[in-house]
Each structure stands twice: as C-alpha cells, then as structure tokens.
Amino acid sequence: MRTLRTVIICALVMATTIAGIGVAPAQNEINSSRLRQAVGVPGILQHLKELQEIADDHGDTRAAGTRGYAESVDYVVARLKKAGYKVTRQNFSFNAFVENSPAEFERVSPQPETYTEDDFLSMEYSGSGNVTATLVATNDILINPSPGGSTGGCEASDFPNATAGSIVLIQRGTCTFREKVDNAAAAGAVGVVIFNEGNDPGRTGVLGGTLSPPDEEADVPAVGTSFAVGEELFNLLQQGEVEVRIAVDAEVITTDSANVIADTKTGYKDRTIVVGAHLDSVPEGPGINDNGSGTAVVLEIAEEMARLKIKPENRVRFAFWGAEESGLIGSNFYVNSLSEQEFEQIALNLNFDMLGSPNYARFVYDGDGSATPDAGPDGSGLIEAVFNDFFASQNLATEPTAFDGRSDYRAFILAGIPAGGLFSGAEVAKTEAQEDVYGGVAGLAYDPCYHQACDTLVEKKQSDDVEAVDDAYGKNVVVGNVNRLSLEEMSDAAAHATLYFAETTDDITDAGARRAGARRQAQMDYIGPFAVR
C-alpha cells in the first residue's frame, strides 16, 4: 500500500444481491458468537510471534523471493494441513526489483549535503546509473503551503528547455510516478527527484514510490524524497544553480514465489467464498501489521473453524497471497489462471490487509460507492452492509474506505467478482474527529511504522510515534506495532463475515454464468502496495 491511481470498475447502483445470492438472510440468523469467541487475540499474536521469529532469522524481512517469505509459506502450509485443510501451493514467478547496493543522493552545490535514508529512497523499478547534473524543476510545483494536486511532470510541456542533460525535480501529484519519470526521460533528463506532496501529514515524509509496470526498469535513475528536502531544493533553485548526484545500482530479476490456497472439505463448490490476505512483507521490515495482521487473522479463522468442526454450506477458500508488495502479483496470477469453470464458482472475495494498526480506525471498503468515487461489482454493497451491520450491533462506529486498487481485492473486482473487506489504516494521519471516535492520537499516521523496519512485534523497536499512541490507549494495548483493540474488533468482524457468507443458503449457482460473459483479466500494469502517484 502507498497511495495510488484509481483504476477500478465504477458501479452506480447500490448492490442488493451478491453474485446471485439474492437478498441474504438477516444477520441475526447467522450466529457467529461461537466462532468469534474462538478467534482471539492470543492466538493471533501467537501467529505474529512466529512470523516475527521467521523475519528475525532471515534479515528482518519476509519479502517475496526471500528465505523469510519461503519460511512464512511453510509455516502457513503446516498449520493449515494440521487443521485438516486441502492445501495447495500455487507457484508463480515475477520480476523483482533488486538493489545491489544502497542508493545515494547528494547535493553537490550549493552547500554540499549527503542525504540519508531519512531523506530519500530509490524508487522501485528505478533505472540504474550514477549521474551528476544541474537540477531543473518542472512547472506547477506547489509549496508555501502545498494544497496538493500538482500536475507537474504529467505532460511534455511541463519540462523546461534546460531539461536535456539535467536531473529534474518533480512534485508528487495527479499522475503516476512512472508517467513523470518517462516524460522526464523523453525530455532528455538523466535522472529524476520526486518529492512528497506536502498537503497532508501523511504526505510529508520520505516518499517510497514505485514505477509501474513491474516488468521493466525505468530509463533513468529516480529517487523519492520527503517534502522538506524537495521544498529546500526548489527554494535553492530560486536563488541560483543547484547541482545534485543520484546513484542507483539495481536490476530486475525473475523471482519465484507462491500463493497458499486452502479449501474446506465441505460446502458447495459453485459458490466458493475466497477469504484472503497477503503473506509477504516489504523488504524494509518484517511486516507484522502489513500484513502479518491480516495473515494471522485469516489463519486463526481457518484453524478455529476446523477445530469447532464447522461444516460450511458454501466452500470457503482461505488464500494467502504472495508478492502483493511487489505489485499484487500473486492475487493477479490466481485470478488470471482460473479456468472458466473455476472462475464461475467464485461468489465473492473478502480481503483483509492491515487489521492491527497502532493508531487504528475501523475502515470498511465502500462496496456500493456511496461515499467514495469507486464502487465494486454488483454485490459488493451487500458485503459492505454485512460488515457495517455487524459493527453497529457491537456499538462500534465505522467509516468507508475507497476501492482504490491498493490491495489484493483488485484482481477480483476487475474480473467482475464482488469484494469487500476491512482496513485499519496506513500512512495517512488520523484526524481529530477520528481521535474522538477511535481514541489514539490525531495528527499521527494510523500506522507510524508503515513499510518501515519498525513494523515489528518487538517493543524496543517502536517508533516515538507508536509509543505516543501506546500512551494514549493505555498500557499494553499496543504490542510492538500492533494494537490489541484493533485486532480484537477487526478479527471479530472478519470471523462474522466469513461465517455469514459461508452459511448463506440462497441459490447462487448462476453467479458465474452471469459474470463469465464480461470476464476481464486483471492486467499487471500497476504496483498496488507502493504509491504510484
């Protein structure tokens, strides 16, 4: 997840059916209390502890293509098999961006300064090169203060005549990073510096973006910086010439990975419920909240359904996706590899990506598009309603979050399959109104360790912001980089929705037939978990 371009199907009518299910039974007819009581925070934390230990043993990461990810797969497979599931490893390969050495960025003049990882990151799928050149800026750079929405770098006319042979300074804004970098290269630039937007507390820090598509490097080296660094460089340009150096040593390597798929032994196959979470972390850290939390919740639901001997009316397929952080690769591969018969059997997808954010909010995907720009396929509104109704029954407030394509539901909704899920927040700052509802600290990110090394279960590695959130909630609510309250509330809702759709008895055998005519493949032209704009 890092913000991105919206490319999702828009549906204008609120869904009253879900892939042919018809009007679902009233929620009080599905008693999920037994499963919810079984799916507890202690079990979830035990899974997180195992994932943390795997990362500890393998360079503090569980990124796809690493030994840490392979052992994460082994752990999930072993637990699911022990619980009695039919488990499949779905192998695939993808083009991974690999840095051979740390990137370098420095201001040569005036006032020489060597920037650190607190100031910049290389852009994923940056081109390689070691270049020193005069800095030039595109038009439409918005600072003092930034209102956001810069269009700089989105068109060829945005680049000054002096761009050829120069390094270009561009502000984050309305088009994708790849478009900005490709336009700069086409104008003759030898490198690109993209600085954060600065219009929101969540868009001031170091910009770790991705240049889609994932199958090729850009033509020139590119780095992302904090708003402060970009603002400083722009102000220096107003005073005279600025010279900078960028060095990126990286390559794209074909890498093996896998999804883990586990099916219940009972349930109608022609109305399969896919309950998924991504298993991989970013390279920078062990990914305990993103997305160890979603993984642990889905795994705990699967284990407890088996232990309680729940025999669902509909087949439940628990899915643990690989290479989400490299561009939603695993879930795209899964959906695109389905035969027509397999595709027609899928009724819906529930997606759980980040459920334990320290400074959390309770976000439900806006399936009907009533509050955000993009609705899911017909039926997604009902999924949203099931989550909202459950939270309301617990006297817990929720708010909608957009289907902006940042997680593994994307492949499903592009293919016309209804989807929904939960999200506890990432890099955006909590508002004062949200603090009144959920507690925590306004002005700090929902997850202050988002995509960082401190996304751990180790308290001594907490950031200062996470410690502030811990103090606000009360002692021992936040464990490492996860919030117990968030895990408890979100896992209850996840368990309820899983059982709800697993037990729905309305006829949905014609669901696939209605979708098959309009089936579309999820094109791998976008890197979801990292920001592309």
| DSSP-assigned letters across all residues of 225-289 | E-HHHHHHHHHHHTTS--EEEEEEEEEEEEEEEEEEEEE-SSSEEEEEEEEEEE--B-TTS--II
Nearest Cα to Cα of residue 212 among 179, 190, 186, 187: 179
pTM across the whole model: 0.85
Q: What pLDDT score was predicted for residue 205?
A: 86
* Angle at the Cα of 336 from the Cα atoms of 300 and 86, rounded to 5 degrees: 35
HSE-up (13 A, CA, CB side) for residue 321: 33
Judged on CB neighbours under 10 Å (0-12, 13-18, 19+), 528 is buried
Residues of the chain with pLDDT under 50: 1-28, 507-514, 516-517, 522-533
Checking DSSP bridges between strand 346-352 and strand 419-423, what pairing results, if any?
A: parallel
Question: Which one is catalytic: 231, 304, 324, 503?
Answer: 324
Residues 6 or more apart from 401 whose CB is under 8 A from it? 363, 364, 365, 366, 372, 423
Question: pLDDT tens for residues 128-143?
Answer: 999 999 999 999 999 9
Q: Which amino acid is at 415?
A: A
**What confidence score (pLDDT) does residue 520 get?**
56
Nearest to 37 by CA among 301, 364, 380: 301
Report which of 39, 51, 58, 68 is spatially closest to residue 457, judged by C-alpha positions: 51
402-443 pLDDT per residue, tens: 998 889 999 999 999 999 999 999 988 999 999 999 999 999
Q: What is the pLDDT of residue 3?
A: 33
- Strand 243-263 and strand 86-109: pairing? antiparallel
Residue 324 annotated as catalytic: yes
Check residue 269 and give its pLDDT: 95
Q: Concatenated DSSP letters for 62-81?
A: -BTTSHHHHHHHHHHHHHHH
Measured distance CA(87)–CA(60) in Å, rounded: 27
Whether the Cβ atoms of residue 327 and residue 527 lie closer than 8 Å to each other:
yes
d(CA 335, CA 321): 11
Please report the pLDDT score of residue 460 as a whole number.
78
* DSSP bridge pairs for 72: none
CB neighbours of residue 476 within 10 Å: 9
In CATH terms, 97-252 corresponds, of 3.50.30.30, 2.40.50.840, 3.40.50.11810, 2.60.40.10, to: 3.50.30.30
406 in Cβ contact with 419 (< 8 Å): no
pLDDT the model gives residue 213: 65
Q: At 468, give phi and psi (nearest 5°).
A: -65, -40
Predicted pLDDT of residue 504: 85
Radius of gyration, alpha carbons of the chain: 23
CA distance 218 to 507: 49
Q: How does DSSP assign 352-375, residue by residue? A: E-----TT---EEE-TT-SSSS--
The one-character DSSP state at 326 is: G
* Residue 176 C-beta-side C-alpha neighbours within 13 Å: 19
Q: Can you give the residue ranges of every domain in the chain?
A: 27-85+264-516, 97-252
Q: Residue 471 CB: number of other CB atoms within 10 A? A: 12
Q: What is the pLDDT of residue 215?
A: 64
* From the candidate CATH numbers 1.20.140.10, 3.40.630.10, 3.40.190.10, 3.40.50.300, the one assigned to the domain spanning 27-85+264-516: 3.40.630.10
Packing angle of the helix pair 294-307, 67-82 (nearest 10 deg): 20
Determine the Cα–Cα distance for residues 528 and 329; give it in Å rounded to an integer: 9
Q: What is the C-alpha separation between 319 and 23, in angstroms, rounded?
A: 26
